Chain A
Amino acid sequence: MTIHTVHIARSLPDALARLDEGFVPLAGGTDLLPRVKHGVLADAAFVAIGRLVELREIHRDGDSLRVGSAVTLGRLSRSSVCPQWLRRECMEVATPRVRELATLGGALLQEGRCRFLNRPLHWRRSSGPCFRTGGTRCHAGGERCWAQQRSLLGTVLLAAGASINLITPAGAETIALRALYPDDAGPCRRGGILSEILIPCLDDDAVAVETLRRRGSIDFHDLVVAGTRHEGTRDLSIAIGAALPYPRRVPLPWECSDDVVAQSAEAAIPAVQTGRFEASYVRHATAVLMRRVTARLLP
């Protein structure tokens, strides 16, 4: 593992100036550094933003929670202003040690994962290059890279309708989190620094999350289905994550048959799977979890 340059940002403008020079933001490093260690990300220069006080605040603002992007998941899980459901989901990520380093911003922006990519150097060299590493093929059988972002919180916050503040040299803007997660797995909206995440403070019983994960700790989730119910409307917001390139919202009517749920799962889950399971099982499991989420949310 060789890291050539790490610049510790003194201020947001300082960090932005470095981004202009091609530096990559480094928050907790739990996603970035393993990639450097495995040689997936080589020769990058980093700008460390984790210590910027502007990015480390948590406060309630009316019906929203505003969380600085550099707030760690450990801290968020202990925050008294954070809704119960979000504290609980933070505790579901990774391990206690990783949660003390991993930031919420990094959790939403973590790279897609693939069982052919997130491997040590000798392993990857032996298996040959793929689209992501200078090759012309996908070992998982795709016609392009199908690495899948396994973000639990990305999926949950997508269902909850969160938004984010992005700061670029051109200024700051607030956009829906959805904008980070394109449906077609094409390049997503990036650039700049994610400064803050704005999260609707939903009631605990208005949020349901069901997951598939091999072990109770360390493992990335194989599948996440999150749902929220918005007061006063008959809308359920369902998002699926971990088994597709980015978390994705799926339309689901308030009342629907098992067949409709199964079709919806079938449509959402790509045939190319880069995790532990084959698509047939993931689709089956998605339908099961969707039914469970909706059952929990329906009055």
Chain B
Amino acid sequence: MSTPDLRWPWVDPYVADLAVPGMVYAALVRSSLPHAVIRAIDLAPALATPGVIAALDGEAFAVRGGVIHSSRDEPVLARGKVRYVGEPLAVVVGVSPEAAAAGANTVKIALDSLPPVLTMTSAEGATPLHENHPDNVLRDIVLEFGPVEESFSRAHTVFTGTYGYGASTHAALEPHGALAWWRPERRLWLWSSTQCPHLVHHELARLLALDPAAVRVMTPRVGGGFGGKSEVYAHEAVAAKLSMMLHRPVRIVLSREEVFYTHRGRHEALITLRMAVDSRHAILGLDADILLNGGAYAGMGLVTSYYAGQFMAVPYRVESLRFRSRRVFTNGPPAGPKRGHGSVQIRFAVERLMDHAALHLDLDPVAWRMALALEQGEATVNGLKIGSTGFVRCLQEVARHTEDIPCRAGEAVGFAGSAYICGAAFPIMPNRLPHSQALIRADRCGLFSLTVGVADIGQGALETLRVLAAETLGQPPSSVIVSAGDTDACPVDLGSYSSRVTLMAGNAVIAAAGSLRRTVLEAAARRLGTRAEDLDLLPGRVVVRDEPGRGMSLTRAIARAEERLGVVMAGGGYTPRVEAGSYPGGALGPSPAFSFSAAAARVSVDRELGTLVVHDIWLAHDCGRAVDLGRVRGQLHGCAIMALGEALTEKSGLTRGIMDPVGFTEYGIPTAADLPRIHAVIVEEPDPAGPHGAKEAGEGPLLPVVPAIANAVARAIGAHICRIPLTPDLLLGHGAAGYPTVEEAGG
């Protein structure tokens, strides 16, 4: 069978656009109870439905899924028990999407209800979701760095606050989808809307008991992810399994409602934070008790649990640090990584408490943050090393832009700061192999063909890599053609998460392009009778550095290299050289570099109604070197808008034990009509670890915006703001049912 033309009529298709001959369609049957024992699943009525050709339940999958090997707890299709409304229980395949849906509707499920755990504060001690976690806690993590007790005993003032951060979801426009095709040569091809083709590749092989060499994962165009497409999901595994069974291509595309059930969004958090401050206003200690609502399964939750505490201090100098972090199981869809993974909630708590303390101590909130800023070469007390920092410059920028802003009654400006990783130093699947690889080939026509395993999820990662390759080769970006999105054809990249692509894949690209550059120059040097070190590669030409008139065209230089080598190509890889902390969990937190951000928000509050308007957001971000100013600015705007939604209008939760909301009419993404003026300020502080100094811009800028808005509201109305989202009823103290009581206290 020949490869079908998947590119027609779409130049760049999404999974839902893909069609191959003989394709059939799958539909998932989902649980309608939050917690229940599965008594029976009868697939017979589905199999008798016209147009239905197959159906499976959880018995078809022997092993459990989960990208972190120590916490694999999620069956592909529920077995024995269901743990949230919307959990996949069975799958039905039909010759049309309608036939599959009709068949799925007829599957008979007998469930015996168990008491559901619906809030995180009631989880510990409630009916266990998992046998191996009788207390419903994934892991009780306690880490302590520096002399915590002694620091607190020396404190001049101890501030305490309890903060609630609401859950939210990614709301990527493209729903998840997959097309699986078990090929006659006994290989599995899978197209998936994923951020992590490499993870899907290996996890799918494990789930289906296939040799990884028999699996090929391809990413067509991906319409956004924001963390929500980082794990390996039921729809991918069932499509693959069914295709293997039926020897036919199987496609599945989730409905919007199903995407909401799939979730893996921001963890709801309840954080009690203590901060010890001395008489000179240094922070002596931070001590946090963090409770995270993980939903029904672990997913990447172990990472979240550590990140929640590990990033507490950075970007500030703090003498000692302690946190207890517990991610509890509840009967809701699993929470997971969302833009700013793990650190958004703790940032909110720290920045709120700092602002509260600044008011109490009569300190300028920006000047105090500047005085506390970690400097280049310093490390946090938990060992996070700062290779470069533009944090003070970011604070200066937001202060400069806001200094003459007049505020009327009910109006105020709030500030906050933050830092974020540029990739995790250690991979999710532990090994010492490169995190990113790149291949580049020079063609005699003067083009450079760059191949990477990166998943471009709409953020323009491939464009950034193209620019880095072009810069290294001294050529215009248009001379570099980038291919990606196919594990057969491309080298490894771990995925688009943790803000790692620019730094890690970028370094791999630079290594590959640098090596190619040397090869071409060496070939030219032979011809010109000089040394490669004496040559420059200019757009379209190789010239002798001190004799600009002497040289040859680039195409000739490449042709000479082809004559000598047969093919002119080079590869490069990137493995972070960062040490893990020598304590349990010490691999979770270290990063090759940190980005820094500062935000200011101007808000006005209608004190009678509790409504508020965010008029302006100033967001200054140190992204290292900006490889592409337009894309960095775009990320800053995106982060500001996503943060605005989390601060004011977006909230995911359970209603009658069911994920709520499950559609875009109800889910409160800010619309164009809600946007403040966003003033994006790019601060460039190149990092030695970054490709041409670049760090990250995709996630870090989100972090300070939520607390900046909350700090502005607190200053505008002179009240404690301890919860997100800031809905009008909560602001006025109505309707707190279901919310934990939260408070701040100073002195």
Q: Which residues of A approach B to under 8 Å, CB–CB?
A: 34, 95, 115-116, 118-120, 122-123, 125-128, 139, 212, 214-219, 276-278, 280-281, 284-285, 288-289
- Which chain B residue has the least Cβ–Cβ distance from A127? B656
B32 touches A (CB below 8 Å): yes
Q: A215-B671, A281-B734, A281-B735 are in contact. Are A126 and B611 (CB under 8 A)?
A: no
B729 touches A281 (CB 8 A): yes
Q: What CA separation (Å) do A281 and B728 show in the bound complex?
A: 9
B658 touches A214 (CB 8 A): no
Residues 23-62 of chain B, each 1 if its beta carbon lies under 8 Å from chain A, else 0: 0000000111100000000000000000000000000000
Q: A120-B663, A127-B656 are in contact. Are A278 and B671 (CB under 8 A)?
A: no
A216 touches B673 (CB 8 A): yes
Q: A122-B30, A280-B734 are in contact. Are A212 and B649 (CB under 8 A)?
A: no
Shortest distance from the beta carbon of B359 to any chain A beta carbon, whole Å: 28
B279 touches A (CB below 8 Å): no
Q: A127-B658, A216-B673, A217-B671 are in contact. Are A122 and B32 (CB under 8 A)?
A: yes
Q: Within residues 570 to 610 of chain B, which ones have a CB less than 8 A from any CB in chain A?
A: 608-610
A120 touches B662 (CB 8 A): yes
A215 touches B670 (CB 8 A): yes
B662 touches A119 (CB 8 A): yes
B32 touches A125 (CB 8 A): yes
A288 touches B609 (CB 8 A): yes
Q: Within residues 522 to 540 of chain B, which ones have a CB less than 8 A from any CB in chain A?
A: none
B728 touches A212 (CB 8 A): yes
B655 touches A (CB below 8 Å): yes
B257 touches A123 (CB 8 A): yes
Residues of B within 8 Å of A127, CB to CB, are 655-656, 658
- Which chain A residue has the least Cβ–Cβ distance from B34? A126
Of A118, A128, A139, A214, the most chain B CB neighbours within 10 A belong to: A214
Shortest distance from the beta carbon of B380 to any chain A beta carbon, whole Å: 39
Q: Within residues 657 to 710 of chain B, which ones have a CB less than 8 A from any CB in chain A?
A: 657-660, 662-663, 665-666, 668, 670-674
Shortest distance from the beta carbon of A175 to any chain B beta carbon, whole Å: 32
Q: What CA separation (Å) do A119 and B655 show in the bound complex?
A: 12
Q: A119-B662, A120-B662, A288-B609 are in contact. Are A277 and B735 (CB under 8 A)?
A: yes
A217 touches B658 (CB 8 A): no
B656 touches A139 (CB 8 A): yes
A281 touches B656 (CB 8 A): no
B92 touches A (CB below 8 Å): no
Complex A-B: 30 CB contacts under 8 Å: A95-B671, A115-B666, A120-B663, A122-B257, A123-B660, A126-B31, A126-B33, A126-B86, A126-B656, A127-B656, A212-B609, A212-B611, A212-B728, A214-B649, A215-B673, A215-B674, A216-B671, A216-B674, A217-B671, A217-B672, A217-B673, A218-B665, A276-B727, A277-B735, A278-B729, A281-B732, A281-B735, A288-B608, A288-B609, A289-B609
Q: A120-B663, A139-B656 are in contact. Are A285 and B609 (CB under 8 A)?
A: yes
Shortest distance from the beta carbon of A177 to any chain B beta carbon, whole Å: 26
Shortest distance from the beta carbon of B543 to any chain A beta carbon, whole Å: 56
Residues of A within 8 Å of B728, CB to CB, are 212, 277, 281, 285
Q: What CA separation (Å) do A285 and B607 show in the bound complex?
A: 11
B257 touches A284 (CB 8 A): no
Of A123, A126, A128, A289, the most chain B CB neighbours within 10 A belong to: A123
Of A95, A115, A139, A219, the most chain B CB neighbours within 10 A belong to: A219
- Which chain B residue has the least Cβ–Cβ distance from A2? B98
Residues of A within 8 Å of B656, CB to CB, are 116, 126-128, 139
Residues of A within 8 Å of B255, CB to CB, are 120
- Which chain A residue has the least Cβ–Cβ distance from B659? A123
B655 touches A115 (CB 8 A): yes
Q: A120-B257, A122-B257, A217-B673 are in contact. Are A278 and B649 (CB under 8 A)?
A: no
Residues of A within 8 Å of B671, CB to CB, are 95, 215-218
B85 touches A (CB below 8 Å): yes
A277 touches B668 (CB 8 A): no
B245 touches A (CB below 8 Å): no
Residues of B within 8 Å of A116, CB to CB, are 655-656
Q: What CA separation (Å) do A119 and B659 show in the bound complex?
A: 11
B737 touches A (CB below 8 Å): yes
Shortest distance from the beta carbon of A240 to any chain B beta carbon, whole Å: 15
Residues of B within 8 Å of A217, CB to CB, are 671-674
Q: What CA separation (Å) do A215 and B670 show in the bound complex?
A: 7
Q: What CA separation (Å) do A285 and B737 show in the bound complex?
A: 18
Q: What CA separation (Å) do A218 and B666 show in the bound complex?
A: 9
Q: What CA separation (Å) do A280 and B729 show in the bound complex?
A: 9
Q: What CA separation (Å) do A208 and B729 show in the bound complex?
A: 24
Q: What CA separation (Å) do A218 and B657 show in the bound complex?
A: 26
B734 touches A277 (CB 8 A): yes
Shortest distance from the beta carbon of B119 to any chain A beta carbon, whole Å: 18
A126 touches B32 (CB 8 A): yes
Shortest distance from the beta carbon of B657 to any chain A beta carbon, whole Å: 8
Sorted from nearest, which 10 A-B pairs have the closest CB atoms? A216-B673, A281-B734, A126-B32, A281-B729, A217-B671, A278-B735, A217-B673, A120-B257, A127-B656, A288-B608
Shortest distance from the beta carbon of B641 to any chain A beta carbon, whole Å: 12
B658 touches A215 (CB 8 A): no
B609 touches A123 (CB 8 A): no
Q: A127-B656, A277-B734 are in contact. Are A215 and B649 (CB under 8 A)?
A: yes
Q: What CA separation (Å) do A126 and B658 show in the bound complex?
A: 7
Shortest distance from the beta carbon of A214 to any chain B beta carbon, whole Å: 6
Q: Within residues 418 to 438 of chain B, which ones have a CB less than 8 A from any CB in chain A?
A: none
Q: What CA separation (Å) do A139 and B658 show in the bound complex?
A: 13
A277 touches B673 (CB 8 A): no
Q: What CA separation (Å) do A291 and B118 show in the bound complex?
A: 40
Shortest distance from the beta carbon of A287 to any chain B beta carbon, whole Å: 9
Residues of B within 8 Å of A125, CB to CB, are 32
Q: What CA separation (Å) do A55 and B732 show in the bound complex?
A: 46
Shortest distance from the beta carbon of B102 to any chain A beta carbon, whole Å: 10
Q: What CA separation (Å) do A285 and B608 show in the bound complex?
A: 8
Residues of B within 8 Å of A288, CB to CB, are 608-609
B734 touches A122 (CB 8 A): no
Q: A120-B663, A126-B85, A216-B673 are in contact. Are A277 and B32 (CB under 8 A)?
A: no
A123 touches B665 (CB 8 A): no
Of A95, A126, A127, A139, the most chain B CB neighbours within 10 A belong to: A126
Choose from A122, A214, A276, A281 the contact partner of B86 (Cβ within 8 Å): A122
Q: What CA separation (Å) do A116 and B33 show in the bound complex?
A: 16
Residues of B within 8 Å of A285, CB to CB, are 609, 728
B668 touches A123 (CB 8 A): no
Q: What CA separation (Å) do A172 and B658 show in the bound complex?
A: 47
Shortest distance from the beta carbon of A274 to any chain B beta carbon, whole Å: 12
Q: What CA separation (Å) do A30 and B452 show in the bound complex?
A: 45
Residues of B within 8 Å of A126, CB to CB, are 31-33, 85-86, 656-658
Choose from B658, B665, B735 the contact partner of A280 (Cβ within 8 Å): B735
Q: What CA separation (Å) do A288 and B656 show in the bound complex?
A: 31
Residues of A within 8 Å of B674, CB to CB, are 215-217
- Which chain A residue has the least Cβ–Cβ distance from B671? A217
Residues of A within 8 Å of B33, CB to CB, are 126
Q: What CA separation (Å) do A105 and B85 show in the bound complex?
A: 38
Choose from A115, A214, A284 the contact partner of B668 (Cβ within 8 Å): A214
Shortest distance from the beta carbon of B77 to any chain A beta carbon, whole Å: 16
Q: What CA separation (Å) do A125 and B107 show in the bound complex?
A: 14
Residues 603-644 of chain B, each 1 if its beta carbon lies under 8 Å from chain A, else 0: 000001111000000000000000000000000000000000
Q: What CA separation (Å) do A123 and B30 show in the bound complex?
A: 10
Q: What CA separation (Å) do A277 and B728 show in the bound complex?
A: 9
B729 touches A277 (CB 8 A): yes
Shortest distance from the beta carbon of B31 to any chain A beta carbon, whole Å: 8
Residues 480-523 of chain B, each 1 if its beta carbon lies under 8 Å from chain A, else 0: 00000000000000000000000000000000000000000000
Residues of B within 8 Å of A123, CB to CB, are 257, 658-660, 662
Q: What CA separation (Å) do A139 and B30 show in the bound complex?
A: 22
Residues of B within 8 Å of A218, CB to CB, are 665, 671
Residues of B within 8 Å of A119, CB to CB, are 662-663
Shortest distance from the beta carbon of B666 to any chain A beta carbon, whole Å: 8
Residues of A within 8 Å of B670, CB to CB, are 215
